[in-house]
Amino acid sequence: MSVSTQMEMLDVFYQKLESFSLKDNGSDIIKPVCEKANSLLDEEREVVQKLEKEVLKENEKEAELLRMMNEAKTVLDMHQQKVKEYQALLEQENELHKNLLKKIEVIKEDIRIETDNETAADDLSGESVKLAIFREMGILMKVDDDYQVKRSFLNTDDGHEVRSIPLENYNINTTSKFIWDFISKNM
């Protein structure tokens, strides 16, 4: 039987006792019973009040837990949204990274081509150009096994005069002067 049912029963019993009228002798007998009933009723009321307070406290705790759970769910939803945004940004960054790597490869290839062109231009230094011009003019250049020009042979148009100029003993400017002098005299 529940506490509230017991209290209702005691209230009904108390009301019946108060309405009951006995002769003077009976009131002496009923009075201690009523006092005992009132005492029990007061105790039961205190128990009910304590239980009601505990229920209120538990309801407040439940409400607080629900509020905290809703806040946690809101925070979780916000974090999940941020994760989605970061994943989208990461995909964009990865795409940009791939494009930059492609551009770097194109630039590296351009640099390699440009470097090859510069190397080819460097190979045509002043000395190489002068030697190439002399060869085109019919001046024979003796090339050793190490592909270095060591000597040049100059012929006159009639083939009567041949002059040999060693290139290893002179720098290219001195050799060029000898060759131009020879060509100027024999033309």
- What pLDDT is stored for residue 62 in this prediction? 95
- pTM passes above 0.75: no
Backbone CA torsion sign across 127, 132, 138, 140: positive
Angle between helices 24-123 and 3-19 (to 10 degrees): 160
Q: d(Cα 16, Cα 37) in Å, to the nearest integer?
A: 12
Q: d(Cα 115, Cα 121) in Å, to the nearest integer?
A: 10
Kindly give the confidence (pLDDT) of every residue in the chain, 187 residues in length, as a single tens digit, with 9 standing for 90 and above: 676 787 787 777 777 766 665 554 456 667 777 788 888 888 888 989 999 999 999 999 999 999 999 999 999 999 999 999 999 999 999 999 999 999 999 988 888 887 776 665 555 566 667 767 777 777 777 766 665 667 777 776 666 767 777 666 666 677 777 777 777 776 5
Residue 32 phi/psi, 5-degree rounding, is: -65, -30
Total Cβ atoms within 10 A of residue 138? 11
Check: CB of residue 152 under 8 Å from CB of residue 142: yes
Please report, for residues 60, 77, 127, 143, 149, the alpha-carbon distance to residue 146 in angstroms, rounded to integers and kept in the order given: 100, 77, 17, 8, 9
Check: CB of residue 149 under 8 Å from CB of residue 168: no
- What pLDDT is stored for residue 51 in this prediction? 92
